[in-house]
Chains A and B, each alone.
Chain A
Amino acid sequence: MQNILYTGRQTVPVVTMLLLALISSMPLSSSHAFEIFPMLNIIVIFYWTVYRPDLVPPVVLFLIGLMDDVVMGTPLGLMAGIFILLRGVTLTQRQFFIGKSFYVTWLGFSIISAFCICLIWVLVALFAGRLGIVITPFIKYVITLLSFPSAAWLLVRIQRYLVD
Protein backbone atom coordinates (compact mmCIF):
# COMPACT_ATOMS: atom_id res chain seq x y z
CA MET A 1 0.00 0.00 0.00
CA GLN A 2 2.83 2.32 0.91
CA ASN A 3 4.52 1.59 -2.42
CA ILE A 4 1.34 2.40 -4.32
CA LEU A 5 0.97 5.70 -2.48
CA TYR A 6 4.60 6.52 -3.06
CA THR A 7 4.34 5.77 -6.80
CA GLY A 8 1.15 7.82 -6.98
CA ARG A 9 2.91 10.79 -5.44
CA GLN A 10 5.78 10.53 -7.89
CA THR A 11 3.37 10.77 -10.82
CA VAL A 12 1.76 14.03 -9.60
CA PRO A 13 3.95 16.29 -11.83
CA VAL A 14 3.12 14.25 -14.94
CA VAL A 15 -0.58 14.20 -14.04
CA THR A 16 -0.64 18.00 -13.57
CA MET A 17 0.91 18.43 -17.04
CA LEU A 18 -1.58 16.03 -18.64
CA LEU A 19 -4.57 17.70 -17.01
CA LEU A 20 -3.36 21.15 -18.05
CA ALA A 21 -2.92 20.06 -21.66
CA LEU A 22 -6.57 18.93 -21.71
CA ILE A 23 -8.09 21.71 -19.61
CA SER A 24 -6.37 24.54 -21.50
CA SER A 25 -8.13 23.50 -24.72
CA MET A 26 -11.67 23.14 -23.33
CA PRO A 27 -14.14 25.20 -25.32
CA LEU A 28 -15.38 28.29 -23.48
CA SER A 29 -18.32 30.49 -24.40
CA SER A 30 -16.08 32.99 -26.18
CA SER A 31 -13.07 32.41 -28.42
CA HIS A 32 -11.56 35.68 -27.16
CA ALA A 33 -11.03 34.12 -23.73
CA PHE A 34 -8.30 31.91 -25.17
CA GLU A 35 -6.31 34.96 -26.25
CA ILE A 36 -5.72 35.86 -22.60
CA PHE A 37 -5.21 32.36 -21.22
CA PRO A 38 -1.64 31.83 -20.01
CA MET A 39 0.56 28.99 -21.27
CA LEU A 40 0.39 27.06 -18.03
CA ASN A 41 2.12 24.01 -19.46
CA ILE A 42 5.36 26.00 -19.88
CA ILE A 43 5.15 27.21 -16.27
CA VAL A 44 4.56 23.70 -14.96
CA ILE A 45 7.38 22.13 -16.98
CA PHE A 46 9.79 24.87 -15.89
CA TYR A 47 8.84 24.49 -12.23
CA TRP A 48 9.12 20.70 -12.06
CA THR A 49 12.37 20.69 -14.05
CA VAL A 50 13.95 23.13 -11.58
CA TYR A 51 12.73 21.54 -8.35
CA ARG A 52 12.08 17.85 -9.19
CA PRO A 53 13.68 16.95 -12.54
CA ASP A 54 13.71 13.28 -11.54
CA LEU A 55 9.91 13.24 -11.75
CA VAL A 56 9.80 14.63 -15.29
CA PRO A 57 11.33 11.96 -17.57
CA PRO A 58 12.10 13.33 -21.04
CA VAL A 59 10.18 10.54 -22.81
CA VAL A 60 7.01 11.34 -20.85
CA LEU A 61 7.46 15.03 -21.62
CA PHE A 62 7.84 14.15 -25.29
CA LEU A 63 4.57 12.20 -25.25
CA ILE A 64 2.74 15.01 -23.46
CA GLY A 65 4.09 17.36 -26.10
CA LEU A 66 2.72 15.12 -28.84
CA MET A 67 -0.65 15.19 -27.13
CA ASP A 68 -0.45 18.97 -26.99
CA ASP A 69 0.27 19.01 -30.74
CA VAL A 70 -2.82 16.92 -31.42
CA VAL A 71 -4.95 19.22 -29.25
CA MET A 72 -3.52 22.49 -30.60
CA GLY A 73 -3.28 21.48 -34.23
CA THR A 74 0.39 22.41 -34.53
CA PRO A 75 2.62 20.17 -36.69
CA LEU A 76 3.14 16.91 -34.82
CA GLY A 77 6.42 17.08 -32.94
CA LEU A 78 6.52 20.87 -32.59
CA MET A 79 5.35 21.20 -28.98
CA ALA A 80 7.11 17.93 -28.11
CA GLY A 81 10.39 19.44 -29.33
CA ILE A 82 9.70 22.71 -27.51
CA PHE A 83 9.01 20.88 -24.23
CA ILE A 84 12.25 18.85 -24.55
CA LEU A 85 14.17 22.02 -25.38
CA LEU A 86 12.59 23.83 -22.42
CA ARG A 87 13.56 20.97 -20.12
CA GLY A 88 17.08 20.82 -21.54
CA VAL A 89 17.74 24.56 -21.23
CA THR A 90 16.19 24.72 -17.74
CA LEU A 91 18.30 21.76 -16.57
CA THR A 92 21.52 23.51 -17.61
CA GLN A 93 20.52 26.55 -15.52
CA ARG A 94 18.95 24.63 -12.66
CA GLN A 95 21.91 24.97 -10.27
CA PHE A 96 21.71 28.73 -10.70
CA PHE A 97 18.03 28.82 -9.62
CA ILE A 98 18.29 26.50 -6.62
CA GLY A 99 18.62 28.42 -3.38
CA LYS A 100 18.04 31.83 -5.00
CA SER A 101 15.12 34.15 -4.32
CA PHE A 102 11.83 33.78 -6.15
CA TYR A 103 12.52 36.88 -8.28
CA VAL A 104 15.66 35.33 -9.74
CA THR A 105 13.67 32.24 -10.72
CA TRP A 106 10.94 34.47 -12.20
CA LEU A 107 13.55 36.37 -14.22
CA GLY A 108 15.01 33.10 -15.46
CA PHE A 109 11.56 31.90 -16.42
CA SER A 110 10.89 35.14 -18.31
CA ILE A 111 13.99 34.63 -20.47
CA ILE A 112 13.48 30.92 -21.12
CA SER A 113 9.74 31.24 -21.84
CA ALA A 114 10.37 34.19 -24.19
CA PHE A 115 12.81 32.00 -26.11
CA CYS A 116 10.29 29.13 -26.28
CA ILE A 117 7.38 31.31 -27.41
CA CYS A 118 9.53 32.99 -30.08
CA LEU A 119 10.63 29.59 -31.32
CA ILE A 120 7.03 28.32 -31.54
CA TRP A 121 6.06 31.46 -33.49
CA VAL A 122 9.01 31.04 -35.89
CA LEU A 123 8.36 27.34 -36.49
CA VAL A 124 4.63 27.86 -37.07
CA ALA A 125 5.47 30.65 -39.56
CA LEU A 126 8.05 28.40 -41.24
CA PHE A 127 5.56 25.58 -41.79
CA ALA A 128 2.82 27.97 -42.95
CA GLY A 129 5.21 29.79 -45.30
CA ARG A 130 3.92 33.10 -43.98
CA LEU A 131 4.38 35.36 -40.95
CA GLY A 132 1.55 35.59 -38.44
CA ILE A 133 0.83 38.56 -36.20
CA VAL A 134 3.15 39.19 -33.31
CA ILE A 135 0.82 40.91 -30.86
CA THR A 136 -1.20 37.84 -29.81
CA PRO A 137 1.83 35.70 -28.88
CA PHE A 138 3.32 38.73 -27.12
CA ILE A 139 0.14 39.20 -25.05
CA LYS A 140 0.16 35.48 -24.28
CA TYR A 141 3.79 35.78 -23.12
CA VAL A 142 3.05 38.73 -20.84
CA ILE A 143 0.03 36.99 -19.32
CA THR A 144 2.04 33.81 -18.82
CA LEU A 145 4.75 35.83 -17.10
CA LEU A 146 2.24 37.56 -14.82
CA SER A 147 0.61 34.20 -13.98
CA PHE A 148 3.92 32.68 -12.91
CA PRO A 149 3.79 33.79 -9.22
CA SER A 150 0.29 32.39 -8.59
CA ALA A 151 1.02 29.20 -10.52
CA ALA A 152 4.30 28.74 -8.63
CA TRP A 153 2.51 29.30 -5.31
CA LEU A 154 0.07 26.50 -6.16
CA LEU A 155 2.81 24.20 -7.41
CA VAL A 156 4.83 24.72 -4.22
CA ARG A 157 1.81 23.56 -2.23
CA ILE A 158 1.28 20.60 -4.50
CA GLN A 159 4.92 19.64 -4.12
CA ARG A 160 4.89 20.09 -0.37
CA TYR A 161 1.68 18.21 0.40
CA LEU A 162 1.35 15.70 -2.40
CA VAL A 163 4.81 14.92 -3.75
CA ASP A 164 7.46 15.31 -1.05
Chain B
Amino acid sequence: MARGPLLFARVVRPIRSLWQRFAFVTLIGMAFSLMVADEVDIKVFKQIKTSAIYSVGTLLELGAETSTAARESFETLAELGKFKDELARLRLENNELKKWRHIAGSLNSQNIALRDLYNFVPLPTIKSITGRIISYSGGAFTRSILINVGSKKGARLGQAVMSSVALIGVLVEVTDEYSRVLLITDLNSQIPVKIQNSSVSGILIGDNSQLAKLFFLPQESVLAEGQVVTTSGRGGILPPDLPIGLVKKTEGLKLVVEPFDDWAQSGYVRVLNFKFSGTILVN
Protein backbone atom coordinates (compact mmCIF):
# COMPACT_ATOMS: atom_id res chain seq x y z
CA MET B 1 0.00 0.00 0.00
CA ALA B 2 2.84 2.34 0.73
CA ARG B 3 4.63 1.62 -2.57
CA GLY B 4 3.67 4.95 -4.18
CA PRO B 5 5.16 7.22 -1.53
CA LEU B 6 8.14 4.88 -1.07
CA LEU B 7 8.95 5.00 -4.81
CA PHE B 8 8.65 8.75 -4.76
CA ALA B 9 10.88 9.12 -1.70
CA ARG B 10 13.56 6.64 -2.78
CA VAL B 11 13.72 7.20 -6.54
CA VAL B 12 11.91 10.27 -7.86
CA ARG B 13 12.91 12.77 -5.20
CA PRO B 14 16.68 12.08 -5.36
CA ILE B 15 16.59 12.22 -9.16
CA ARG B 16 14.67 15.47 -9.03
CA SER B 17 17.08 17.05 -6.55
CA LEU B 18 20.07 15.87 -8.63
CA TRP B 19 18.47 17.38 -11.72
CA GLN B 20 17.83 20.68 -9.96
CA ARG B 21 21.47 20.82 -8.95
CA PHE B 22 23.01 19.85 -12.27
CA ALA B 23 20.39 20.98 -14.84
CA PHE B 24 22.32 24.10 -15.76
CA VAL B 25 25.63 22.34 -16.36
CA THR B 26 23.96 19.39 -18.10
CA LEU B 27 22.04 21.56 -20.53
CA ILE B 28 25.06 23.77 -21.28
CA GLY B 29 27.07 20.62 -21.96
CA MET B 30 24.33 19.29 -24.25
CA ALA B 31 24.20 22.59 -26.13
CA PHE B 32 27.95 22.55 -26.63
CA SER B 33 27.88 18.90 -27.79
CA LEU B 34 25.14 19.72 -30.29
CA MET B 35 27.20 22.62 -31.67
CA VAL B 36 30.23 20.38 -32.14
CA ALA B 37 28.10 17.59 -33.65
CA ASP B 38 26.60 20.11 -36.09
CA GLU B 39 30.07 21.19 -37.20
CA VAL B 40 31.38 17.64 -37.54
CA ASP B 41 28.40 16.59 -39.72
CA ILE B 42 27.40 13.39 -37.92
CA LYS B 43 24.78 11.52 -40.01
CA VAL B 44 22.35 10.68 -37.19
CA PHE B 45 22.47 14.20 -35.95
CA LYS B 46 21.77 15.51 -39.46
CA GLN B 47 18.61 13.42 -39.60
CA ILE B 48 17.43 14.88 -36.29
CA LYS B 49 18.09 18.38 -37.62
CA THR B 50 16.19 17.56 -40.82
CA SER B 51 13.13 16.53 -38.78
CA ALA B 52 13.40 19.74 -36.73
CA ILE B 53 13.54 21.86 -39.91
CA TYR B 54 10.48 20.04 -41.26
CA SER B 55 8.45 20.65 -38.07
CA VAL B 56 9.41 24.29 -37.76
CA GLY B 57 9.11 24.86 -41.50
CA THR B 58 5.46 23.78 -41.51
CA LEU B 59 4.60 26.40 -38.88
CA LEU B 60 6.72 29.07 -40.57
CA GLU B 61 5.11 28.42 -43.96
CA LEU B 62 1.66 28.90 -42.45
CA GLY B 63 2.75 32.15 -40.85
CA ALA B 64 4.48 33.36 -44.01
CA GLU B 65 1.39 32.74 -46.13
CA THR B 66 -0.77 34.64 -43.68
CA SER B 67 1.58 37.60 -43.47
CA THR B 68 2.07 37.66 -47.27
CA ALA B 69 -1.69 37.62 -47.85
CA ALA B 70 -2.17 40.49 -45.41
CA ARG B 71 0.69 42.50 -46.94
CA GLU B 72 -0.58 41.96 -50.49
CA SER B 73 -4.09 43.08 -49.50
CA PHE B 74 -2.72 46.31 -48.04
CA GLU B 75 -0.53 46.89 -51.09
CA THR B 76 -3.46 46.33 -53.45
CA LEU B 77 -5.61 48.79 -51.53
CA ALA B 78 -2.79 51.35 -51.56
CA GLU B 79 -2.24 50.98 -55.30
CA LEU B 80 -5.90 51.15 -56.39
CA GLY B 81 -5.53 54.77 -57.40
CA LYS B 82 -2.56 54.04 -59.68
CA PHE B 83 -4.09 51.21 -61.74
CA LYS B 84 -4.99 53.36 -64.75
CA ASP B 85 -1.49 54.84 -65.14
CA GLU B 86 0.12 51.46 -64.55
CA LEU B 87 -2.07 49.91 -67.26
CA ALA B 88 -1.03 52.58 -69.80
CA ARG B 89 2.64 52.05 -68.92
CA LEU B 90 2.33 48.27 -69.26
CA ARG B 91 0.70 48.61 -72.70
CA LEU B 92 3.62 50.71 -73.96
CA GLU B 93 6.12 48.25 -72.50
CA ASN B 94 4.30 45.31 -74.07
CA ASN B 95 4.42 46.90 -77.54
CA GLU B 96 8.15 47.50 -77.15
CA LEU B 97 8.70 43.89 -76.03
CA LYS B 98 6.78 42.57 -79.05
CA LYS B 99 9.28 44.34 -81.34
CA TRP B 100 12.19 42.77 -79.44
CA ARG B 101 10.62 39.31 -79.66
CA HIS B 102 11.15 39.28 -83.44
CA ILE B 103 14.75 40.44 -83.04
CA ALA B 104 15.39 37.77 -80.35
CA GLY B 105 13.95 35.09 -82.61
CA SER B 106 16.28 35.94 -85.50
CA LEU B 107 19.30 36.19 -83.15
CA ASN B 108 18.46 32.76 -81.76
CA SER B 109 18.38 31.23 -85.25
CA GLN B 110 21.76 32.81 -86.04
CA ASN B 111 23.16 31.46 -82.76
CA ILE B 112 22.02 27.91 -83.49
CA ALA B 113 23.50 28.06 -86.99
CA LEU B 114 26.85 29.35 -85.67
CA ARG B 115 27.01 26.67 -82.95
CA ASP B 116 26.45 23.95 -85.53
CA LEU B 117 29.12 25.47 -87.72
CA TYR B 118 31.79 25.50 -84.98
CA ASN B 119 30.68 22.28 -83.15
CA PHE B 120 30.16 24.36 -80.04
CA VAL B 121 29.60 22.39 -76.77
CA PRO B 122 26.97 24.30 -74.83
CA LEU B 123 26.58 24.50 -71.08
CA PRO B 124 23.89 22.23 -69.69
CA THR B 125 20.36 23.63 -69.67
CA ILE B 126 19.45 25.28 -66.42
CA LYS B 127 16.00 24.53 -65.06
CA SER B 128 14.63 26.48 -62.13
CA ILE B 129 12.26 25.68 -59.29
CA THR B 130 10.35 28.60 -57.77
CA GLY B 131 9.82 28.69 -54.03
CA ARG B 132 8.47 31.02 -51.38
CA ILE B 133 10.59 32.50 -48.61
CA ILE B 134 9.12 31.32 -45.29
CA SER B 135 11.60 32.76 -42.81
CA TYR B 136 14.60 35.03 -42.51
CA SER B 137 17.28 34.62 -39.88
CA GLY B 138 17.41 38.26 -38.82
CA GLY B 139 20.67 39.63 -40.16
CA ALA B 140 22.81 40.41 -37.11
CA PHE B 141 24.59 37.07 -36.65
CA THR B 142 23.54 34.95 -39.61
CA ARG B 143 22.03 35.68 -42.99
CA SER B 144 20.01 32.80 -44.28
CA ILE B 145 16.45 32.15 -45.39
CA LEU B 146 14.23 29.09 -45.36
CA ILE B 147 12.31 28.32 -48.53
CA ASN B 148 9.53 25.82 -49.23
CA VAL B 149 11.47 23.93 -51.89
CA GLY B 150 12.95 20.61 -50.83
CA SER B 151 14.48 17.48 -52.33
CA LYS B 152 11.03 16.26 -53.39
CA LYS B 153 10.87 19.16 -55.86
CA GLY B 154 14.41 18.59 -57.07
CA ALA B 155 16.48 20.79 -54.76
CA ARG B 156 20.02 19.58 -53.97
CA LEU B 157 22.87 20.80 -51.79
CA GLY B 158 25.00 23.51 -53.34
CA GLN B 159 22.45 24.72 -55.91
CA ALA B 160 22.36 28.41 -56.72
CA VAL B 161 19.37 30.45 -55.63
CA MET B 162 18.33 33.59 -57.45
CA SER B 163 15.91 36.42 -56.93
CA SER B 164 14.28 37.93 -60.01
CA VAL B 165 17.59 39.17 -61.45
CA ALA B 166 20.57 38.18 -59.30
CA LEU B 167 22.21 35.40 -57.33
CA ILE B 168 21.29 35.68 -53.65
CA GLY B 169 22.78 32.52 -52.17
CA VAL B 170 23.40 28.81 -52.18
CA LEU B 171 21.48 25.86 -50.70
CA VAL B 172 23.31 24.60 -47.59
CA GLU B 173 20.63 22.39 -46.01
CA VAL B 174 18.02 20.42 -47.92
CA THR B 175 15.19 18.40 -46.41
CA ASP B 176 12.24 16.74 -48.14
CA GLU B 177 10.03 19.85 -48.08
CA TYR B 178 12.23 22.79 -47.10
CA SER B 179 15.72 24.12 -47.69
CA ARG B 180 18.01 26.72 -46.17
CA VAL B 181 19.66 29.29 -48.41
CA LEU B 182 22.92 30.80 -47.18
CA LEU B 183 22.90 34.36 -48.47
CA ILE B 184 26.01 35.74 -50.17
CA THR B 185 26.40 38.33 -47.40
CA ASP B 186 26.59 35.68 -44.64
CA LEU B 187 29.86 35.19 -42.76
CA ASN B 188 30.15 31.59 -44.00
CA SER B 189 29.47 32.38 -47.65
CA GLN B 190 32.30 32.08 -50.21
CA ILE B 191 31.44 32.35 -53.91
CA PRO B 192 33.93 32.16 -56.82
CA VAL B 193 33.28 35.27 -58.90
CA LYS B 194 34.67 37.27 -61.80
CA ILE B 195 34.34 40.80 -63.06
CA GLN B 196 32.15 40.93 -66.14
CA ASN B 197 34.00 41.53 -69.43
CA SER B 198 37.42 41.05 -67.83
CA SER B 199 39.71 38.21 -66.80
CA VAL B 200 39.81 39.25 -63.15
CA SER B 201 38.43 36.60 -60.81
CA GLY B 202 38.37 36.14 -57.08
CA ILE B 203 36.30 34.95 -54.15
CA LEU B 204 33.35 36.88 -52.74
CA ILE B 205 33.13 36.47 -48.96
CA GLY B 206 30.35 37.82 -46.73
CA ASP B 207 30.71 39.43 -43.30
CA ASN B 208 27.09 39.66 -42.12
CA SER B 209 26.72 43.21 -43.44
CA GLN B 210 24.71 44.48 -46.44
CA LEU B 211 27.85 44.24 -48.60
CA ALA B 212 30.27 41.40 -49.39
CA LYS B 213 34.04 41.65 -49.88
CA LEU B 214 36.30 40.54 -52.73
CA PHE B 215 39.35 38.48 -51.80
CA PHE B 216 42.13 36.64 -53.67
CA LEU B 217 42.12 39.03 -56.62
CA PRO B 218 45.18 39.02 -58.91
CA GLN B 219 47.83 41.41 -57.57
CA GLU B 220 47.83 43.96 -60.35
CA SER B 221 44.10 43.95 -61.00
CA VAL B 222 42.46 47.36 -61.17
CA LEU B 223 38.74 47.55 -60.65
CA ALA B 224 36.41 50.45 -61.25
CA GLU B 225 33.38 51.35 -59.25
CA GLY B 226 30.20 50.17 -60.91
CA GLN B 227 31.67 47.11 -62.61
CA VAL B 228 29.35 44.11 -62.62
CA VAL B 229 30.36 41.06 -60.58
CA THR B 230 29.11 37.66 -61.76
CA THR B 231 29.71 34.02 -60.83
CA SER B 232 32.80 32.58 -62.52
CA GLY B 233 31.55 28.98 -62.58
CA ARG B 234 34.90 27.71 -61.27
CA GLY B 235 34.57 24.39 -59.48
CA GLY B 236 31.51 23.52 -61.56
CA ILE B 237 29.08 23.98 -58.68
CA LEU B 238 27.43 27.24 -59.68
CA PRO B 239 26.48 28.22 -63.22
CA PRO B 240 28.75 30.93 -64.67
CA ASP B 241 27.70 34.50 -65.49
CA LEU B 242 24.96 34.84 -62.90
CA PRO B 243 24.83 38.52 -61.88
CA ILE B 244 25.61 39.21 -58.24
CA GLY B 245 26.20 42.92 -57.72
CA LEU B 246 28.26 46.00 -58.43
CA VAL B 247 31.79 46.85 -57.31
CA LYS B 248 31.74 49.62 -54.76
CA LYS B 249 34.92 50.95 -53.19
CA THR B 250 34.81 51.94 -49.57
CA GLU B 251 36.81 54.69 -47.93
CA GLY B 252 39.69 52.44 -47.07
CA LEU B 253 39.99 51.31 -50.71
CA LYS B 254 38.70 47.87 -49.73
CA LEU B 255 36.84 46.29 -52.60
CA VAL B 256 33.29 45.50 -51.68
CA VAL B 257 30.35 44.37 -53.74
CA GLU B 258 26.87 45.71 -53.31
CA PRO B 259 24.40 42.91 -54.18
CA PHE B 260 21.83 43.83 -56.86
CA ASP B 261 18.50 42.88 -55.50
CA ASP B 262 16.46 43.23 -52.39
CA TRP B 263 15.14 39.66 -52.54
CA ALA B 264 12.68 40.28 -49.72
CA GLN B 265 10.39 42.42 -51.90
CA SER B 266 8.97 39.67 -54.08
CA GLY B 267 8.95 36.95 -51.42
CA TYR B 268 9.86 34.33 -54.05
CA VAL B 269 13.16 32.88 -55.22
CA ARG B 270 14.33 30.45 -57.93
CA VAL B 271 16.51 27.43 -57.24
CA LEU B 272 18.67 26.68 -60.27
CA ASN B 273 18.88 22.99 -61.10
CA PHE B 274 22.33 23.09 -62.70
CA LYS B 275 24.56 20.08 -63.35
CA PHE B 276 27.45 19.32 -65.69
CA SER B 277 26.67 16.28 -67.87
CA GLY B 278 29.22 13.47 -67.98
CA THR B 279 31.89 12.82 -65.35
CA ILE B 280 35.24 14.37 -64.54
CA LEU B 281 37.97 11.68 -64.43
CA VAL B 282 40.58 12.10 -61.69
CA ASN B 283 43.93 10.19 -61.52
Q: Give A residues with C-beta under 8 Å from B.
A: 22-35, 37, 58-59, 62, 65-67, 70-78, 80-81, 84-85, 88, 120-121, 123-125, 127-128, 130-133, 135-137, 139-140
Contacts and interface: CB of A to CB of B under 8 A. Distances in A.
B231 interface: no
Given A58-B27, A84-B24, A72 B141 contact: yes
B159 interface: no
A130 B207 CA distance: 8
B16 to A, nearest CB: 12
Nearest to A137: B140
Contacts of B37: 76-77
A70 B53 contact: yes
22 contacts: A27-B64, A27-B136, A27-B267, A30-B262, A34-B136, A35-B140, A59-B27, A66-B34, A67-B52, A70-B56, A71-B135, A71-B137, A72-B141, A73-B137, A75-B39, A76-B52, A77-B38, A78-B35, A80-B27, A88-B24, A128-B187, A132-B209
Contacts of A22: 59-60, 63
Interface of B: 23-24, 27-28, 30-35, 37-39, 45, 49, 52-53, 56, 59-60, 63-64, 67-68, 71, 133-142, 144-146, 180, 182, 187-188, 205, 207-210, 262-265, 267
The 3 A-B pairs of least Cβ separation, nearest first, read A77-B34, A81-B31, A73-B144
Contact of B52 (A30, A66, A140): A66
B136 A25 contact: yes
B38 A76 contact: yes
B271 to A, nearest CB: 16
A23 B35 contact: no
A95 B124 CA distance: 66
A34 B263 CA distance: 13
Given A28-B264, A71-B60, A124-B187, A80 B34 contact: yes
A76 B35 CA distance: 5
Given A70-B52, A81-B28, A27 B33 contact: no
A136 B133 CA distance: 23
B67 A75 contact: no
Contacts of B188: 128
A84 B137 contact: no
Given A30-B262, A128-B187, A136-B208, A76 B34 contact: yes
Q: Chain B CB within 10 Å — which of A24, A66, A71, A75 has the most? A: A71
Nearest to A121: B141
B31 A80 contact: yes
Contact of B135 (A25, A29, A123, A130): A25
A128 B23 CA distance: 29
Contacts of B138: 24-25, 34, 37, 72
Given A25-B138, A37-B138, A71 B31 contact: no
A133 B209 contact: yes
B187 A132 contact: yes
A34 B210 CA distance: 12
Nearest to B138: A34
B15 to A, nearest CB: 14
Contacts of A140: 140
Given A29-B264, A77-B30, 17 more contacts: A26-B135, A28-B264, A30-B265, A34-B138, A59-B23, A70-B49, A70-B53, A72-B138, A72-B142, A75-B38, A76-B37, A77-B33, A80-B31, A81-B35, A84-B31, A132-B141, A133-B207
Contacts of A130: 187, 205, 207
B142 A25 contact: no
A76 B71 CA distance: 32
A37 to B, nearest CB: 7
Contact of B39 (A73, A85, A127): A127
A135 B146 CA distance: 25
Contacts of B262: 30-32
A26 B141 contact: no
Nearest to B145: A27
Contacts of A66: 34, 52
Nearest to B208: A132
